[in-house]
Chain A
Amino acid sequence: MMNRRQMLAATVAAIAIGLAPHAFAQDKQVGGEINVLSWGNYIDFALPAFEKKYGTKVNIDYYADEKEAMNKIRATGLGTYDVVFLGVGFEEVAMKQALIDPIDVTKLVNFKDMYAPFQKPKADGVHDHVTYSWGANGLIAYDPSKTGGEIKSWKEVYSGKFKGRIGKIDKSNEQTYRTTFQSGMEYGPLTDDQWATIAKTLESSMPQVRTVYQHYDEMAQLLAAGEIWIADTDDGGYRQAKAKGVNIALAYPEEGFIAWYDGPCLVKDAPNLEAAYAFIDHMISPEVQAQLGKELGYAPANQKAVALMDPALRASLGVDEAEANLSRVQFQRSLGAAYEGKATEVWQKAKAQVQ
């Protein structure tokens, strides 16, 4: 049984929770701490401002890919992490595995300023993530001084002219859609015959490949060291390598490419819920989104950020054409465990043939 004092405290707490949706706009000090799982060098620049604004300490833990992030949540158990950054369909997988909770976007002041496609919920009406950044993937980075000219297509890359100078990203799902386009097919679920075509295309490409790498930082090092001249990349990976002074150019392959998105999700049973919402709102604020473009070369998902960017940055990120690009580009999505399993098998066999 509650005594009067406990009843009063509970009433005050209930009122406070009820007012929470409006709290973040008033820069309320939330205090405490928050546990975030993120890619390395991805959100770090935005943390000091958040900690100062909300008085909340951010404990950040890094991962190398989405699968590792989800395995970390599972390994540590729910109730540890508050926010995890997921995208390209992994947020759907995390929701199916009951690792994340739906996000109540009415609690996010900045959500209304997102580009229209990023405000749409999933088919079931649920917002399983909020988009923080987006861009193109399935692209080609190359050193023009080594290739001796411009490269426009996969056909040129695997013409035989650059044998032993090509690097590939060691991720089966990325290799699947890259090879899907290279083989002249559309992105999406694949039939057995289409898988066989992908395997055949990889079979002819792999003997020309020098090495594989796990992430785009490694790609930049390999290009800078001259180990490879041509590499798989996404737009952010290319811009970060370029910012480090690596002499590279970017090609959007003629055969096709894909769009990616990524953003914060609310981990199921998040222990610091109020801070988690404040954090997510902060990450999609115009200021952080503008800084994201400047610091990491990723396009913002909040259209109000565009006004805070200088013209040169806007031009390099192509943000003035963002709405047009968003309406025509196809986003990567989850195609199920069987698709992932087949993609892994095909990619591992392709690697095994050149052992």
Chain B
Amino acid sequence: MGKQGASGRLGEKGQLAFLLLPPLLTLLVLFVAPISLLAVYGFWALDDNYNIQETFQLTQYRKIANDPLYVGTLLTSAGMALMTTVGALLLALPLAYYIVRFVSPRWRALLVLALIVPGWVSVLIRTYSWNLVIGESGLMNWLLLSVGIVDEPIKLLFTKASVIIGLIYIYLPYMLVPIYASIERLDNSILEAAENLGAGPVRRFIHVTLPLIAPGIVAGCIITFIPAIGEYVVPNMLGGLKGMMYGNLITTAFSNFDWPFGSALSMVLLASILACLLVVGRFLNVNRSMLGQE
């Protein structure tokens, strides 16, 4: 019996390995290999004739550490990504809650689809459309001037605020979908039990709903924050001079043929994001929550 049990376990392990092999191989080829290549490039340097010197050195990392431009821009980008995440969360949470709780099931899917469909259009086009809306002679100023709310056009375009607005708009679906899914999965009987025990709507939301949908919120925050911190298209188009983010520094380095410096900048960003995730994971115990082991 014991022998059979052992072989059964081995069989299970074998099956697991068989199932895990394709995704692991995909990760290895599409993620680990290119990142490793970047890591290696980061220890090389460019000579004056634009040739890469393949000798191990710390030149690029010293440059990043010694010049406040790079760390400063990384912190600014983190701040902007954080504002984007908070803004998207404040919009997505009530929106998802409203759709699940107050919209009939036959309209729900349609509403969610309506919020996701714009994501199928190119980021460039969607960002450019904001240019036309918030520009000095754009739709927003035309309306405000027509109604008489302002006497002269508001200069919103090419400010940090316009970048945040653009980023929230682009990343809202990333936040909305996981939160919507977690609210939809909520067991109504738990909320009814809380109500029967005398908890009001606010208390029910804070003490029952919020902890139960926390995994969805955390997932939404993570998949919004990570791409937002490395953004460069939206800041370029809506921020102009005020839109310099860390992603723009990386793009410039690569377009200057300086692959070693671009690689080192990318590795610093990657390490910073991983460090953030570790901190968040530690504080919120995300892994256990997401696996439903709590």
> B242 on the interface (CB 8 Å rule)?
yes
> A9 on the interface (CB 8 Å rule)?
no
Q: How far is the CB of B76 from chain A (nearest CB, A)?
A: 6
Q: How far is the CB of B223 from chain A (nearest CB, A)?
A: 26
Q: How far is the CB of A29 from chain B (nearest CB, A)?
A: 39
* A341, B72: Cβ atoms closer than 8 Å: no
Binary interface profile of B, 11-52, with partner A (CB < 8 Å = 1, else 0)?
000000000000000000000000000000000001111110
> B289 on the interface (CB 8 Å rule)?
no
* B48, A337: Cβ atoms closer than 8 Å: yes
Stretch of A102-110, A125-133, A208-216, A266-274 at the chain-chain interface: A208-216
In the bound complex, residues from chain B placing their C-beta under 8 Å from that of A340 are 256
Nearest residue in B to A74 (C-beta to C-beta)?
A: B257
Query: A348's contact among B76, B244, B254, by CB below 8 Å, is which?
Result: B244
In the bound complex, residues from chain B placing their C-beta under 8 Å from that of A93 are 50, 257
Q: How far is the CB of A89 from chain B (nearest CB, A)?
A: 11
* A226, B241: Cβ atoms closer than 8 Å: no
Nearest residue in B to A343 (C-beta to C-beta)?
A: B256
In the bound complex, residues from chain B placing their C-beta under 8 Å from that of A210 are 158, 240-241
* B257, A209: Cβ atoms closer than 8 Å: no
* A209, B241: Cβ atoms closer than 8 Å: yes
Binary interface profile of A, 332-355, with partner B (CB < 8 Å = 1, else 0)?
000011101100110011011011
Q: How far is the CB of A158 from chain B (nearest CB, A)?
A: 15
In the bound complex, residues from chain A placing their C-beta under 8 Å from that of B47 are 337
Q: How far is the CB of A66 from chain B (nearest CB, A)?
A: 10
Nearest residue in B to A211 (C-beta to C-beta)?
A: B240
* B135, A225: Cβ atoms closer than 8 Å: yes
Query: A214's contact among B155, B158, B236, by CB below 8 Å, is which?
Result: B236
* B72, A352: Cβ atoms closer than 8 Å: yes
> B182 on the interface (CB 8 Å rule)?
no
In the bound complex, residues from chain B placing their C-beta under 8 Å from that of A200 are none
Query: B256's contact among A67, A164, A206, A352, by CB below 8 Å, is which?
Result: A67
Cα distance, A46 to B163, chains bound together (Å): 40
* B136, A337: Cβ atoms closer than 8 Å: no
Chain A CB count within 10 A is highest, among B157, B158, B236, for B158
- Chain A interface residue number, banded: 35 or more
* A212, B241: Cβ atoms closer than 8 Å: yes
Cα distance, A64 to B249, chains bound together (Å): 17
Assuming the contacts A93-B50, A341-B256, asked whether A348 and B236 have C-beta atoms less than 8 A apart, the reply is no
In the bound complex, residues from chain B placing their C-beta under 8 Å from that of A337 are 46-50, 256-258
Nearest residue in A to B49 (C-beta to C-beta)?
A: A96
* B137, A225: Cβ atoms closer than 8 Å: yes
Cα distance, A96 to B52, chains bound together (Å): 12
Binary interface profile of B, 44-71, with partner A (CB < 8 Å = 1, else 0)?
0011111100000000000000010100
Query: B51's contact among A97, A164, A172, A349, by CB below 8 Å, is which?
Result: A97
Q: How far is the CB of A179 from chain B (nearest CB, A)?
A: 15
* A65, B255: Cβ atoms closer than 8 Å: yes
Q: How far is the CB of B160 from chain A (nearest CB, A)?
A: 8
Binary interface profile of B, 174-211, with partner A (CB < 8 Å = 1, else 0)?
00000000000000000000000000000000000000
* B136, A226: Cβ atoms closer than 8 Å: yes
Cα distance, A214 to B241, chains bound together (Å): 11
In the bound complex, residues from chain A placing their C-beta under 8 Å from that of B49 are 96, 336-337
Binary interface profile of B, 242-262, with partner A (CB < 8 Å = 1, else 0)?
101000010011111110010
Cα distance, A354 to B236, chains bound together (Å): 15
* B252, A344: Cβ atoms closer than 8 Å: yes
In the bound complex, residues from chain A placing their C-beta under 8 Å from that of B254 are 71
Q: How far is the CB of A202 from chain B (nearest CB, A)?
A: 12
In the bound complex, residues from chain B placing their C-beta under 8 Å from that of A212 are 240-241
Q: How far is the CB of B41 from chain A (nearest CB, A)?
A: 14
Assuming the contacts A67-B257, A337-B48, asked whether A227 and B136 have C-beta atoms less than 8 A apart, the reply is yes
In the bound complex, residues from chain B placing their C-beta under 8 Å from that of A225 are 135-137
> A151 on the interface (CB 8 Å rule)?
no
In the bound complex, residues from chain A placing their C-beta under 8 Å from that of B135 are 225, 227
In the bound complex, residues from chain B placing their C-beta under 8 Å from that of A209 are 241
Query: B249's contact among A213, A341, A348, by CB below 8 Å, is which?
Result: A348
Nearest residue in A to B254 (C-beta to C-beta)?
A: A71
In the bound complex, residues from chain B placing their C-beta under 8 Å from that of A136 are none
Cα distance, A207 to B192, chains bound together (Å): 59
* B242, A67: Cβ atoms closer than 8 Å: no
Cα distance, A214 to B255, chains bound together (Å): 13
Assuming the contacts A227-B136, A336-B48, A355-B76, asked whether A211 and B257 have C-beta atoms less than 8 A apart, the reply is no
> What 7 A-B pairs are tightest by C-beta distance, nearest first?
A211-B240, A211-B158, A67-B255, A336-B48, A96-B49, A337-B50, A212-B241
5 contacts between A and B (CB under 8 A): A96-B50, A210-B241, A212-B240, A213-B240, A345-B67
